[in-house]
C-alpha cells in the first residue's frame, strides 16, 4: 500500500512538472529584438550599446546606427540614438573640419520606409578649415509620421562627387 501511495505521488509530481514546463514555454513571448527583450522585462546590461539577455540566453544589442564607427570623424550630442524626436528638431554636435565644405554639410531625415521627411544643411559654428573637431548646428522641420522609427543621416559634404570621398553617420530615432 505504501508503495502505491509513493508511486502515485511521484506520478502526480511528474505530471505537474511536465504540465508546468509546457505551460511556461507557451506563455513565454517570442523575442526577436532588443526592444522586445526590454519590453518583456529582461535585464538590460549597462554597456554602450545596451544589451538585453532573454531567458533562453539570447543576447540582443541596441541599434545605435554607425555612431561608434564614425566617432573619430563626427559626433552628435543632440539627438542621441533612439531618442524620441519632434519638429522642429535641433541637431547639434561636432565634426572634423574636412567633413564640411564651405562650412556646411547636408542632413536628411527618413522615416522607417526610407521616405525623405526633411532635409537641411548643418552650419559650422567655428572655423571649419581645420582637421580638428568643429561644432555644428542645424534645424529640421518635418511632419512626423503617427509613430514608428526613422533615421537621421549626416553626410560628409563631397563637392567632387567621387564615391571614395563619400561618408555618412546614420542615427536611428523614434517619432
Whole-number pLDDT of residue 92: 98
Whole-number pLDDT of residue 5: 64
Whole-number pLDDT of residue 20: 61
| Arithmetic mean of pLDDT over the chain | 90
pLDDT value at 11 more than 60: no
Whole-number pLDDT of residue 144: 85
Q: pLDDT tens digit string along 56-86?
A: 989 999 999 999 999 999 999 999 999 999 9
pTM for the whole structure: 0.79
Distance CA 54, CA 38 (A): 9
pLDDT value at 23 more than 80: no
Whole-number pLDDT of residue 146: 80
Q: What is the mean pLDDT of residues 158-162?
A: 94
Whole-number pLDDT of residue 4: 67
Amino acid at each position: 500500500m505504501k508503495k502505491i501511495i509513493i508511486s502515485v505521488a511521484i506520478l502526480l509530481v511528474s505530471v505537474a512538472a511536465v504540465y508546468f514546463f509546457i505551460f511556461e514555454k507557451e506563455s513565454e513571448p517570442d523575442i526577436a529584438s532588443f526592444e522586445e527583450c526590454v519590453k518583456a522585462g529582461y535585464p538590460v546590461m549597462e554597456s554602450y550599446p545596451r544589451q538585453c539577455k532573454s531567458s533562453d540566453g539570447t543576447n540582443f544589442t541596441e541599434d545605435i546606427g554607425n555612431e561608434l564607427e564614425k566617432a573619430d570623424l563626427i559626433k552628435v550630442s543632440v539627438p542621441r540614438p533612439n531618442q524620441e524626436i519632434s519638429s522642429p528638431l535641433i541637431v547639434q554636435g561636432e565634426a572634423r573640419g574636412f567633413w564640411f565644405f564651405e562650412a556646411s554639410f547636408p542632413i536628411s531625415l527618413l522615416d522607417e520606409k526610407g521616405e525623405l521627411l526633411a532635409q537641411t544643411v548643418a552650419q559650422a559654428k567655428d572655423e571649419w578649415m581645420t582637421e580638428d573637431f568643429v561644432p555644428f548646428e542645424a534645424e529640421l522641420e518635418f511632419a512626423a509620421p503617427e509613430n514608428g522609427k526613422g533615421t537621421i543621416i549626416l553626410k560628409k559634404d563631397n563637392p567632387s562627387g567621387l564615391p571614395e570621398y563619400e561618408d555618412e553617420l546614420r542615427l536611428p530615432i523614434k517619432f
